[in-house]
Amino acid sequence: MGTYAAVVLAGGAARRMGGVDKPALPVGGRSMRDRVLAAVGDAAPRVLVGPGGGVTDGVRVTREDPPGGGPVAATAAGLALLDPDTTLVALLAADLPLLTRAAIGDLLDHLAPPVAARPDSLSSPQALAGSPASAAPAGSLSSQRAPADNPSGRRVGAVPDREWPADGVCFVDANGRRQSLCGVWRVEALRAGLLRLAAERGGSLAGASMRALFAGLAIREVPWAGDGPPPWFDCDTDEDVRRAEEWVR
C-alpha cells in the first residue's frame, strides 16, 4: 500500500441521534471509531480528532479549535500532528463501521505519480489554492466547485483515472456523490486548501464546509468494486447503525 498517515474525525455533534458520542457506539461488538482505526492499522501516525477516552495505544489524540468547530477545523487539527515528512493521509469520518484495510488499499492504489509531475499550468500555487475549473486547460483537471447552474454540487467532471496526477482520491456512491471523508489525500494539497480557506474567512476555519476546502483540488473518484457492503457507509441515524449491524454479522 505504501506509507501513509491517517486522520480520523470523531468530533461531530450527532444531532440526528440525540447528541450521543456516535463514534463510540458499537457495531458488531466494537465501536465504530475503533473499527475505523483498525482499518488504517498500518498508517503512521494515526490521529484521532475528538474525544479519545479508551483509544488504542499509539494513536495521537487532539481536538479541533474550537471544539465542535466542524470537519474543516478538525482536519487542520489532525494535520498539525502529522510527522513533517508525511506526504499522504487518509482522511476519514469516525462513523464508517464497514471500512476495511482493503478499501484503503484500493484508494491508495488509485493515486497517480506525485503532483510535481503535473504540467506547469496545473502545479502552480494558484491551482493548488483553489483556482476555478475554468482556468484549467479544457479536458484536463476539474475542481469540485459547482457552477452557478449546478447548485446541487454534483460533479460535472473529475480527474480521468491514471491520466493526470490527483491531489486526492475518494469513493463515489452509485448516485455520483463523493464520499470525501472516505478518501486519501496529498498532505501538501490539503494544507494549501486550508491556508486559502483561512485567508478567505479572516483566519477562522470554524464552520467551514468540506466542499469549500476541496474546491480547486484535483480529485479522482473511485467507485466501489469490491465484495461486500460499501466501505463509505456512514451511520447518521439509529437505522443506519442497525443496517451496519446486519452487514457485519
Q: Domain ranges in the chain?
A: 5-248
Nearest to 142 by CA among 117, 162, 122: 122
Overall average pLDDT of the 19-25 stretch: 81
pLDDT at 112 (0 to 100): 59
Q: In the structure, what pLDDT confidence band is assigned to residue 53 with cuts at 50, 70 and 90?
A: confident
Task: Please give the CATH number for the structural domain made up of 5-248.
Answer: 3.90.550.10
**Phi, psi angle pair for 73, to nearest 5°:** -60, -40
Q: Which residue has the higher pLDDT, 16 or 193?
A: 193
Overall average pLDDT of the 217-239 stretch: 89
Q: Which residue has the higher pLDDT, 226 or 249?
A: 249
> Is residue 174 pLDDT above 50, yes or no?
yes
User: Which residues, at least 6 apart from 142, have a Cβ–Cβ distance to it below 8 Å?
Assistant: 133, 136, 155, 156, 157, 158, 159, 218
Where would I find the H helices in 17-172? 32-39, 71-79, 101-109, 125-128
Instruction: Please answer whether residues 97 and 32 qualify as being in contact, where contact means their C-beta atoms are separated by less than 8 angstroms.
Output: yes
> Is beta strand 168-172 parallel, antiparallel or unpaired with respect to 219-223?
parallel
> Is residue 111 pLDDT above 50, yes or no?
yes
d(CA 49, CA 104): 19
User: What's the pLDDT tens digit per position in 115-161?
Assistant: 444 444 443 333 433 333 333 332 223 333 333 333 333 343 465 66
d(CA 221, CA 239): 27
